[in-house]
Chains A and B, each alone.
Chain A
Amino acid sequence: AQSVTQLGSHVSVSEGALVLLRCNYSSSVPPYLFWYVQYPNQGLQLLLKYTSAATLVKGINGFEAEFKKSETSFHLTKPSAHMSDAAEYFCAVSDGDAGNMLTFGGGTRLMVKP
């Protein structure tokens, strides 16, 4: 079985500052990892995914994440925050043995201050 831990349920940054959202996972098999974004009262939208190709993954809206096996981490970063980045972000891991089922972290709400 796999699990995901997102450190920090709320993160606040100033506009233009670096965004760093943390995700650590545990999995008994090589993981597939995903970051999703959710705006208020909407569904989840995929930002990026890691599927065992390049360890540095680039996504939409300027976000990227790096898979670090030794640290069991998949942190999400963006060099410069924009007001429109304010949303909730979810990290998820997939258990390949059980089919395409995602286990989600508890989410991190990103707030961007002007």
Chain B
Amino acid sequence: DGGITQSPKYLFRKEGQNVTLSCEQNLNHDAMYWYRQDPGQGLRLIYYSQIVNDFQKGDIAEGYSVSREKKESFPLTVTSAQKNPTAFYLCASSIAVRGRTEAFFGQGTRLTVV
């Protein structure tokens, strides 16, 4: 089955550590996205990539970094510079056309700072 796989589902991080969240898709989509979800705040865009080796900052990119070395993969690193990293992180992908097609989402990774 085609889809988006995020791992791990739950992740615990000590303060001051960097952690990397994995996102892999086999839908042959060009565009991939990372969103952060906090209770009562909907989804906020962290980074997005429209093509391999290119990515752009979203609304809340500070403290995060990404790479897009392969079409299928778009890992997100939460750095120690992110002051409040505890949240639910969602990866998504879509066909890179203008606006018409929907995004497909992974099952999410819940990150907790301990």
Contact = CB atoms under 8 A, between A and B. Distances in A.
Given A90-B43, A105-B42, A100 B101 contact: yes
Given A99-B50, A100-B31, A106 B98 contact: no
A76 to B, nearest CB: 15
A67 interface: no
For chain A, the bracket of interface size reads: 20 to 34
For chain B, the bracket of interface size reads: 20 to 34
A100 B105 contact: no
B1 interface: no
A12 to B, nearest CB: 17
A82 interface: no
B106 to A, nearest CB: 5
Contact of A100 (B41, B90, B95): B95
B99 to A, nearest CB: 3
Nearest to B91: A43
A111 B74 CA distance: 35
Given A32-B99, A99-B31, A99-B50, A104 B108 contact: no
Given A42-B107, A43-B105, A104 B42 contact: yes
Interface of B: 4, 6, 31, 33, 35, 40-43, 45, 48, 50, 88, 90, 92, 94-108, 110
25 contacts: A9-B40, A32-B100, A41-B110, A42-B107, A43-B6, A44-B43, A44-B90, A44-B92, A46-B104, A90-B43, A94-B99, A95-B99, A96-B99, A96-B100, A97-B98, A99-B31, A99-B98, A100-B94, A100-B96, A100-B97, A101-B48, A105-B42, A106-B41, A106-B42, A107-B42
